[in-house]
Structure 1
Amino acid sequence: MTMTGECLCGAVKFEAEDVETHYHACHCDTCRHWSGPAMAVAVGKVTFQGEENIKAYQSSEWAERGFCQECGTHLFYRLKETGQTIVWVGAFDDKSPFKLSGEIYVDSKPDGYAFQGDHPRLTQREFLESIGAIVET
């Protein structure tokens, strides 16, 4: 599925191919600090217009995050090792195809909210192991 989206001010637009329509809510401290529970989907390829307006920074040892420098809209995070790009659901023009299919970093989730439904709920360790990241103990 190919989908389009943009930041709040329109300075950055994108077209994403092979968009996964299921998303995971991430409860890690970084995602919650950045945007509340992060809801993002993996895409096969994404092409940005207005790339000069995108600022990216290293948010962890294994990923970077990008946002619009003009309005601050959170756009994506990208895995450094594989280059896989994960785009925030809220940045897409049409949000209707997306469905919650799991939660990650549930051991970091505050008690004040919960998502309903029968879906996988992975701890930090379980998630990092599932993507082949090194887990230090």
Structure 2
Amino acid sequence: MKRIEMEVSGGCQCGAVRYHATAVHDNSHLCHCRMCQKASGNIFAALVAAPDDALSWTRGKPSVWKSSELVERGFCANCGTPLFFHHLENGRTNLMIGSLDDPHAFA
């Protein structure tokens, strides 16, 4: 996976939780696993990963639910917007593309 130095920001629907990343990976994708279907309330989750060292929370903090032994998922406790999927051992956080300020930047 190639690291791309670029600025992206996003957050939840109500604005209580915001994030900023200074890099992403070239891996925008649709995950169709049953856990992502349940977490997004859809038939897939549109995701793009940011290296953990490039991601910061700029307003509020997401609530986190550990959905399996190795995975946690973040969301806004106020409005319920799903924000990310984070594998605890791989050093990156998969952001929900729909939560980005400019989701069109990722095919």
TM-score, shorter chain, exceeding 0.5: yes
Structure 2 unaligned segments of length 5 or more: list them. Answer: 1-5
- How far apart, in 1, do the equivalents of 2:27 and 2:93 lie? 15
1:92 maps to 2:97 = no
- How far apart, in 2, do the equivalents of 1:93 and 1:17 lie? 14
Higher relative contact order (CA closer than 8 Å, sequence separation 6+): 2
Structure 1 unaligned segments of length 5 or more: list them. Answer: 100-137
Higher strand fraction (1 or 2): 2
Choose 1 or 2 for highest CA Rg: 1
- How far apart, in 2, do the equivalents of 1:91 and 1:83 lie? 20
Aligned structure 1 segments of 4 or more residues deviating by more than 6 angstroms: none
Q: Check the 8 A contact 1:16/1:43 in 2, yes or no.
A: yes
- How far apart, in 1, do the equivalents of 2:46 and 2:14 lie? 20
Code of the aligned partner of 1:40:
L
CA-based RMSD of the aligned residues comes to 1.3
Code of the aligned partner of 1:8:
Q
Q: Percent identity?
A: 40
Q: Choose from 28, 34, 38 the match for 2:45.
A: 38
- How far apart, in 2, do the equivalents of 1:20 and 1:8 lie? 24
TM-score by length of 2: 0.83
- How far apart, in 1, do the equivalents of 2:55 and 2:95 lie? 9
Aligned length: 97
TM-score by length of 1: 0.66
